[in-house]
């Protein structure tokens, strides 16, 4: 086990989730709201993690109805539970969805007005202290456990970012043991989320050398270990490497993402089909890399070197091959995305906060082209 401090204090290691009672006591949280989802509860993870507490969890303090892409309605429902149960903090247990939802609850438990009022980079400075969050990730990919942002789907259909240093979890308990039971498709999809975070933040043109170093290292780990973790789900070393890759993506978020995320955010806001964020990123990544080629200085070469690829290899093709190897769908169409959403997705991407840090500037035509490529 190890303690790592950058913005969030991270406790990392097999079995580290048993430290939860100590961490809650240190933060002065006596009655946390558990924000999680049905899959996590059904997998026995709520029971397992909460078994370390002195008393059984009061079911009034459990919100397990987190949707795959967390919504404003879910924020309000969970916040009602937080208030009714007299909670004084949050344990976010799960993947990126429960952790992001927990951030929405932490915000609305301490701030008035409609959720939309606090959306976007413009609201960053006006968000004050929020309810404290302890994040216990059960996937390896989101990075939300060390990120200061949350993506939430508003009632009006927009998927918007909420950003504040006050939304950073006070602690992240990163226990790779909790990810051992993850099904192959979830391992692959969340792992590709980690890889997409590392690659997009690395390619972001903003100057941030520590974030570049962390992102490049995270990308190399995910590249080396993801297929292995998918094939050997009980290999704890591979699970730990993937959990580090997820963390590194989150630590590098401050550099900004790119076109993959600009497109996957509005796609994630669709109510039908319900799309898995990391899997959408996996499908889009080769197309976006192809689009960005020639606009990234020597960064493709450095990624290729970090991945152990030949200098002459095509990076986008290598990502397509990885997707195939780990069972990712071949296209957005194969995931059930209808062509009719094209206009809505392009409009959402144009307004997305991740667009300005894509290395090659994009307009509506370019985004439409990327959507079309992703559909095929």
304 binds a copy of itself (CB under 8 A): no
* Number of Cβ within a 10 Å radius of residue 227: 18
- Measured CA angle at 131 (ends 123, 146), to 5 deg: 75
Report the residue number, 75 or 198, with the smaller CB distance to a copy of itself: 198
Cα–Cα distance between 262 and 8 in angstroms, integer? 25
| Least gap, CB of 46 to a copy of itself (angstroms) | 27
* Least separation in angstroms between CB 337 and a copy of itself: 35
What are the residues whose beta carbons fall under 8 Å from the beta carbon of 290, sequence distance 6 or more?
316, 373
Scanning 82-90, 92-100, 212-220, 345-353 for contacts with a copy of itself by CB under 8 A, the matching segment is: 212-220
**Is residue 5 involved in binding a copy of itself (CB under 8 A)?**
yes
Q: Measured from the CB of residue 141, what is the shortest distance to a copy of itself in angstroms? A: 16
Q: Which of 210, 273, 336, 338 binds a copy of itself (CB under 8 A)?
A: 210
Q: Is 299 in the site for a copy of itself (CB under 8 A)?
A: no
Handedness of CA 11, 16, 178, 42 (dihedral sign): negative
Q: Minimum distance between the CB of residue 12 and a copy of itself, rounded to whole angstroms?
A: 7
Q: Report residue 329 as tokens.
A: 């769908």
- Say whether residue 25 binds a copy of itself (CB under 8 A): no
CA distance 224 to 230: 12
The contact mask relative to a copy of itself for 226-255 (x = CB under 8 A, - = no) is: ------------------x--xx--x--x-
Residue among 13 and 68 whose Cβ is closer to a copy of itself: 13
CB of 258 to a copy of itself, least distance (A): 17
Could you give the 3-state DSSP secondary structure of residue 14?
coil
294 in contact with a copy of itself (CB under 8 A)? no
Q: Which of 37, 175, 200, 212 binds a copy of itself (CB under 8 A)?
A: 212
Between 128 and 183, name the residue whose CB sits nearer to a copy of itself. 128
Name the nearest CA neighbour of 336 among 288, 271, 282, 292: 271
> DSSP characters for 122-178?
GGGGG------EEEEESSSS--GGG-SEEEEE-TTS-EEEEE-GGGS-SEEEE-GGG
206 binds a copy of itself (CB under 8 A): yes
DSSP-derived pairing of the beta strands 133-137 and 89-94: parallel
Distance CA 149, CA 171 (A): 15
Tell whether residue 213 is a contact of a copy of itself (CB under 8 A): yes
Question: Closest separation between CB of residue 2 and a copy of itself, Å?
Answer: 4
State the nearest-atom distance from the C-beta of 244 to a copy of itself, in Å.
Answer: 5
| 125 touches a copy of itself by CB under 8 A | no
Q: Which is nearer to a copy of itself, 18 or 254 (CB)?
A: 254
Does the protein bind a copy of itself through residue 4 (CB under 8 A)? yes
Q: What is the rounded end-to-end Cα distance, in angstroms, of the chain?
A: 45
Nearer to a copy of itself by Cβ, of 244 and 275: the residue is: 244
The token pair at 121 is: 């980079």
Residues 228, 249, 256, CA angle at the centre, nearest 5°? 145
Positions that interact with a copy of itself (CB under 8 A): 2, 4-7, 12-13, 206-214, 216-218, 221, 244, 247-248, 251, 254
């Amino acid at each position: 086990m190890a303690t790592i401090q950058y913005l969030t204090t991270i406790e990392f290691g097999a079995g580290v989730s048993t430290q939860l009672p100590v961490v809650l006591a240190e933060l002065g949280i006596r009655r946390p709201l558990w924000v999680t989802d049905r899959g996590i509860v059904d997998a026995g993870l709520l029971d397992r993690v909460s078994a370390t507490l002195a008393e059984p969890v009061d079911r009034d303090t459990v919100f397990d109805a987190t949707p795959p892409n967390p919504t404003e309605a879910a924020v309000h429902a969970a916040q009602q539970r937080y208030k009714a149960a007299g909670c004084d903090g949050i344990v976010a247990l799960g993947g990126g969805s429960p952790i992001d939802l927990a951030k929405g609850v932490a915000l609305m438990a301490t701030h008035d007005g409609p959720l939309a009022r606090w959306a976007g980079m413009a609201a960053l400075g006006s968000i004050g202290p929020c309810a404290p969050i302890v994040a216990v990730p059960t996937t390896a990919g989101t990075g939300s456990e060390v990120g200061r942002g949350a993506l939430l789907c508003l009632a009006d259909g927009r998927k918007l970012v909420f950003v504040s240093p006050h939304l950073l979890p006070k602690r992240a308990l990163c226990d790779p043991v909790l990810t051992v039971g993850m099904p192959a498709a979830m391992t692959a999809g969340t792992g590709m989320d980690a890889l997409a975070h590392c690659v997009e933040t690395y390619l972001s043109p903003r100057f941030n050398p520590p974030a570049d170093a962390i992102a490049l290292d995270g990308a190399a780990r995910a590249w080396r270990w993801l297929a292995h973790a998918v094939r050997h789900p009980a290999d704890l070393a591979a699970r730990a490497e993937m959990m580090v890759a997820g963390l590194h993506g989150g630590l590098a978020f401050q550099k900004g993402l790119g076109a993959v995320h600009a497109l996957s955010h509005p796609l994630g806001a669709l109510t039908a089909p319900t799309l898995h964020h990391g899997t959408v990123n996996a499908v889009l990544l080769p197309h976006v890399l192809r689009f960005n080629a020639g606009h990234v200085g020597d960064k493709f070469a450095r990624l290729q070197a970090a991945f152990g690829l030949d200098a002459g290899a095509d990076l986008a093709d290598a990502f397509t091959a990885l997707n195939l190897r780990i069972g990712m769908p071949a296209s957005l169409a194969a995931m059930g995305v209808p062509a009719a959403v094209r206009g809505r997705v392009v409009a959402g991407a144009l307004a997305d906060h991740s667009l300005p840090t894509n290395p090659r500037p994009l307009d509506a035509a370019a985004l439409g082209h990327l959507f079309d490529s992703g559909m095929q």
